[in-house]
Amino acid sequence: MAKENSENPRFICGLHATLHVISGKWKPLILFFLNKGPTRYGELKRSVRGVSDKMLIQQLKELESDGIVERTDYGEIPLRVDYSLTLFGVNLVRAMEPLCGWGETHQGDIAAAMDRRKVSR
Amino acid sequence: MAKENSENPRFICGLHATLHVISGKWKPLILFFLNKGPTRYGELKRSVRGVSDKMLIQQLKELESDGIVERTDYGEIPLRVDYSLTLFGVNLVRAMEPLCGWGETHQGDIAAAMDRRKVSR
DNA sequence: ACGGGTACTTACCAAAAGGTGCATACTTGA
DNA sequence: TCAAGTATGCACCTTTTGGTAAGTACCCGT
């Protein structure tokens, strides 16, 4: 078990801790869309364009395990399952909001940066 | 070149755009430490515990290419190079601050979540 | 009996990301 | 001549992440 002391702390800083929860190609986007309210699996998949079933389910399971997201199974057929944010998750998404704003504001710059990276490969 | 229209937009949302800039295991931490002011390469490496030279240099190059970070070579021997945030970078790090706060507040929960993930593998 | 729907599983594979180990350049001091 | 310092390069390798394709469970309607 990892020792938690000042000599070898688990996390370098608060940001480091947060990154462990939100790392994964799709997690930030999943959380972003769940911020709109409880969402069915299929609807979430349509919102998070490009994600595969395998990854969506895997990352939802991890978010559930971490206490960020909760899963509601209505026990119907066809299956109807909702995913929603816990209070813990709502606070996390709130902390992510400035990143949304920054990205909105700088989409042009970011697209240009991506093009530069592509060219220099 | 990717078409930017409402039918097939480059980014799903602002957050998606931001993620393209900060994705990479070490980038958020690099930015976090550079927020303290211009930093020498060696000092930055010591701060970002665990990073290899290869990755630190690679991710610094990408951040520089994206206009987030600037590199100052003093032309001395031994080499002395400083890395610092551009204004663009300072604004990005400001947007990341709530994530630092969230992580600070929830380090215990996050550590517990990580332990649960480890057990269920 | 079969196909539809939704949500999810799994084996195998590919791609991406990250790391190791050794190397380089250059001036200075021993 | 060699070692020291700092910053960086590169070939090869390992690990992690993500994707594909085919499959599953279950009830209902045709």
Question: The pTM is what?
Answer: 0.90
Q: Which residues of B touch A14 (CB under 8 A)?
A: 99-105, 107
pLDDT tens-digit profile of A88-111? 999 999 999 999 999 999 999 999
- CB-based contact B106 A116, cutoff 8 Å: no
Architecture of domain A14-119: Orthogonal Bundle (1.10)
Query: Binning pLDDT at 50, 70 and 90, where does residue B10 land?
Result: confident
B5-35 exposure pattern, b = at least 16 Cβ within 10 A, e = fewer? eeeeeebbbbbbbbbbbbeeebbbbbbbbbb
Residue B82's DSSP bridge partners are B40, B72
- The average confidence (pLDDT) of chain A is 90
For residues A56-80, give the mean pLDDT. 95
| A40 Cβ contacts chain C strand, under 7 Å | yes
- CB-based contact B106 A88, cutoff 8 Å: yes
Please name the nucleotide lying closest to A55, CA to C1'. D18
Give the pLDDT of residue B120.
65
Give the pLDDT of residue B19.
94
Which residues of chain A between 53 and 72 are close to nucleic strand C, CB under 7 A? 53-54, 57, 60-61, 71
